Structure 1
Amino acid sequence: MNRKLTEATVLETGEKVIPGSLRPDGTVRKERRIRAGFVPQDEQPVYMSRGALAKQNVPTCPGMDETEVMALKQQATKTKKSSSSVSKPPNPKSVPNTLASPQADSKGAAVSKAVAADPPAQSELPSENEDPKKTLEKRILNLNKKIRQCNTLAEKKQAGVALDKEQEEKLAKSTGWQEEVRQLEEQLAKLVA
């Protein structure tokens, strides 16, 4: 399309006129008049309240240069990014010892292997501001729920229902979870006393 056909011409009154043109399908586009001083929606400046405009002109920290302020802001964002990207190690006092040393008898060895195979999930690890007593209680409740599910799976198995691989694995972990619940209850009793 010819560039001159789509350019606006300015009249003596200040109005702009975009001349009519021919569309690719053969229809005619009417000429369009644009009144003087009209600014299209896309070109309108972003609205800023009087308070925001006043804040623009006031220095951030009286007595500080803008370069110092920018350096402090960058330093603050760097510390936020580094603290969020690096995960903090769990508190060793409140996390149960799931990797217990293997015991002499075979049953104890199987229990410690089952417990070691299922480390606590990241969401189950306590944060530094969380109460260790509440964390232990949550973990005990979570494990008791898993043990109840294993009991229902065992009942289904006794009834003759075929279990899939994941259900069999869950059923095998039941004894380890029971041992872990016992250890957690002992730790909870020490915290309460």
Structure 2
Amino acid sequence: MGTMIRVGAIDDHPVVLAGVAAALAQAAPDMSLVAIAGSVDELLEKAAGQEAGLDVVLLDMRIPEQAPVEVAVARLIENGLVVLLFTAEERPVPVRRAIAAGAAGLVLKVDPIETIAQAIRDVVAGELACSSQLAAMLLTDETLATRLSTRQIEILQAVSTGLPYRLVARDLGISEVTVREHLARAARSYRDGGVDTGNVHGLISRARADGHLDE
């Protein structure tokens, strides 16, 4: 590739981005971190002011008060940007949501800078990039997270706030029996995958650990 790869990054830790910029300058002379921001809006504003534009954006998945990662990915793609997830996130569900929204790959913050640089080259070339075995597993290993229905997740989220079943049922316009049935089906899905969640508190904890529920 004869031209410099222009990289943008979204992260709420400036020190992290400063380190990435310095490391790329030393290890990857074919690319430069030219725009850093703490939010999607800020990055898009900076990208608009870039005469040559950006080739790829590194996106941290866990920025406080940021929209769900799949929404952030979609906004960046709508603006013509290639998105590479750059994160410490190891919960499979949000990772897969981001990929389904169009992110071009995943690199972990613990990965060597040479590995991150190669992933950047790969996504710019139109390939799906997985920087490590763990990253690949998060994207492809279906055993890492039990699938739950939208209604099951909705009920688990409500129950996790401490609402009694009768109030959850009222708020969702269903019966208390239906609430319990959905919880039982969610627990059964985990058991079918070899995980005994125990009571509803264990079920909530496991669903949160997988990324089905907000932390």
TM-score, normalisation: structure 2: 0.21
Give the number of the structure whose alpha-carbon radius of gyration is greater.
1
Higher strand share: 2
TM-score, normalisation: structure 1: 0.23
